[in-house]
Structure 1
Amino acid sequence: MAQIEQVQAEVDRRWSGMDMPSWPDPHPGAREPAPERYSQVTDPERYGIVHARARLWAQVLVEHGARAEQLTPRPVPDWPEGPPAPVDRLMRVDPPSGAAGALPLYLCETDGSEAEASSGVGNQQEDDDGRSPDTAVPPSLRIAWGTTDVVLDVQPDCGCDACDSGSADLLEAVDDTVRSALVDTVRLVGVRRGPGRSAQRDWQLTWHADGNAQGSGTFPGGRGLRRHQRDRDAWRRMNAACERIARGEEPDLPRGTQVTVGRAWFPQA
């Protein structure tokens, strides 16, 4: 069975022969962009490379035993969570038949548009870029795992000129997220009871065996996990619990924690 590194190498090889937009980081050396760049999107169409890269991943994965299917588009959450975002094309990629316990990958494409649809593009939980209502919105890609409700990442996460870090960085972000979805993955969701005893998500963590993880909310015994407010001890503790679960152990978890485990698509070194 193919290794992830072999699949990545094939994606890179084929991409090098494709006529795709490529541009350098316009802010080398972490140079601070001019304030007006936060409200500008000079060439939104070029961000369509995220769609092309995702489709290429799907194509190569299918050649290594996966199965791909176009689904009827439906809105999906923003990353890591948020209001529904529009989707123009939705592809489900199922793991090879021999990958017991592996879960599917979802590639959710949103076309670029003018500002009327801007609320659905970019990381709305984090972005406050001050775009004017007539600013163009670039195409975007959301990558989900297991179900379309579990969005691991959205690229570009903004798309304005100030946040542009070049095409290579954008492609690397797509690759890293797809690769993470193909290894052992554990998702924990903390649930609390709201009014009328209805279940409400309090926090969530998605851990990957390659060392990547995404989380949001307030962990038990910790502070808010958004950006610099993270309680690092709580973060490490829950990541360690996920690693133990991936090994088949049963660590103590906060009461009511929901656990989802997805196994690797390909043998892991």
Structure 2
Amino acid sequence: MVTTPAPTWWEQQHALLCELAQDGSEAWADAGPPFSDALLQLLTEVEDAFAQTGTDTPAWEDPHLSAGGELRDSREEEYSRCLDPGKYRIFWTRAEAWTRVLTARGWADVDVDDGAGIVWAVKPYVDRYRTTVLRPRRPGAQPLVLARTSPDEATGSGDLTGPDALIMGLVVGVGEPPVPVSTTPDCGCDACDSGSRDLLEELDCLILSIVDGSFEAVLAPGWSSHRTSFCAGGGSGDEDAHLDVTVTAQPWAEGWTPRPLCPAIDPDDSAPPARRERGSL
């Protein structure tokens, strides 16, 4: 019996965008165009590389999903605990897959640091250890920083309540000095776990957007925002009165057409912190 592999997140999204483009409805005019062949090929290469880098970091399903496809509520005991902290190493191996592809294409040079030598525009709220810096060769393109949030040899913490709890997460930064734009997972407890597919899609979308040239981050006193072709978000930020940083990505490859950005979040509409997915009404 031959099992058909489940479609990747980008195959599903590309199919939806193609369907919306054919439909022509004005209600979905901001959904964005279908993915280009070049973008699909890039993601396929990352998936192929991940088949090698991720051999020891298997995917997992949403633990709240029953065999019948029904979602259950999180249990009280699932909060502030992680029964399998090592599973989050999958972020490291996915980042390694991206690194292999981007350097193999000749788009970037790579440096690896222990984390202490990286000066950030705004200090991330988690400790950083092994840090990979990808510097694109194309003038104007922004560097990509991938920082692990625990030592390579760590086993992780099952109890997440203490200040010294370790999660095998990843901080993504962009620019030089880098601006931290994502820490994945944002929690790490079993209650918030929705499975590896959602988490890897979030990481892929962010890295892809930086490489594609469809990313913008803004930091100002009390305000931070970012937007890609997939979503836009904004909310309260560092209160430093001297903070004034805007990072705008450019494509890493010559002749590459970036995807259109989502509309920016208006600071006046940002309480509570806002997030808008591409195509939402």
Opposite residue 184 of structure 1, the aligned amino acid is S
SS of equivalent to 1:39 = coil
Instruction: Quote the residue 2:222 is aligned against.
Output: 202
Gaps of at least 5 residues in structure 2 are: 1-36, 238-242, 259-281
Query: How far apart are the structure 2 equivalents of 1:84 and 1:263?
Result: 27
TM superposition outliers: structure 1 runs of 4+ over 4 Å: 75-78, 112-115
Instruction: Quote the residue 1:142 is aligned against.
Output: 171
Q: Cα distance, 1:101 vs. partner?
A: 1.2
Q: Cα distance, 1:23 vs. partner?
A: 1.4
Q: After the TM superposition, which residues 101-180 of structure 1 pair with which residues of structure 2 at under 5 Å, given as runs?
A: 101-111=140-150, 112=154, 131-133=160-162, 137-147=166-176, 149-180=178-209
Please give the per-residue CA displacement for 1:209-261, whole angstroms capped at 9, x wherever unaligned.
x243342228xxxxxxxxxxxxxxxxxxxxxxxxxxxxxxxxxxxxx965443
Q: Cα distance, 1:58 vs. partner?
A: 0.7
Please give the per-residue CA displacement for 1:38-79, whole angstroms capped at 9, x wherever unaligned.
03210101110101100110111001111111124139899x
Cα distance 1:148–1:36, how it changes in 2: closer, same or farther (>3 A)?
Answer: farther
Gaps of at least 5 residues in structure 1 are: 119-129, 191-200, 219-255
Instruction: Quote the residue 2:217 is aligned against.
Output: 187
Opposite residue 171 of structure 1, the aligned amino acid is L
Opposite residue 175 of structure 1, the aligned amino acid is D
| Larger RCO (CA within 8 A; separation ≥ 6) | 1
TM-score normalised over the length of structure 1 = 0.65
Query: How far apart are the structure 2 equivalents of 1:77 and 1:164?
Result: 31
Query: Among residues 18, 26, 45, which one is paired with 2:63 in the alignment?
Result: 26
Does the Cα contact within 8 Å between 1:184 and 1:263 map onto a contact in 2? yes
Query: Among residues 217, 225, 239, which one is paired with 2:236 in the alignment?
Result: 217
Query: How far apart are the structure 1 equivalents of 2:71 and 2:109?
Result: 41
* Equivalent residues, number: 203
Q: Cα distance, 1:86 vs. partner?
A: 1.2
Instruction: Quote the residue 1:7 is aligned against.
Output: 42
Query: How far apart are the structure 2 equivalents of 1:54 and 1:82?
Result: 21
TM-score normalised over the length of structure 2 = 0.62
Opposite residue 110 of structure 1, the aligned amino acid is T
Structure 1 position 264 matched with structure 2 position 245: no
Q: Cα distance, 1:186 vs. partner?
A: 3.0
Query: What CA RMSD, in Å, does the superposition of the two structures yield over aligned residues?
Result: 3.2
Opposite residue 106 of structure 1, the aligned amino acid is V
Cα distance 1:103–1:133, how it changes in 2: closer, same or farther (>3 A)?
Answer: closer
Instruction: Quote the residue 1:239 is aligned against.
Output: none
Does the Cα contact within 8 Å between 2:82 and 2:160 map onto a contact in 1? no
Does the Cα contact within 8 Å between 1:41 and 1:137 map onto a contact in 2? no
Opposite residue 50 of structure 2, the aligned amino acid is W
State the identity %.
Answer: 29
Cα distance 1:213–1:145, how it changes in 2: closer, same or farther (>3 A)?
Answer: farther
Please give the per-residue CA displacement for 1:186-226, whole angstroms capped at 9, x wherever unaligned.
33333xxxxxxxxxx23122233x243342228xxxxxxxx
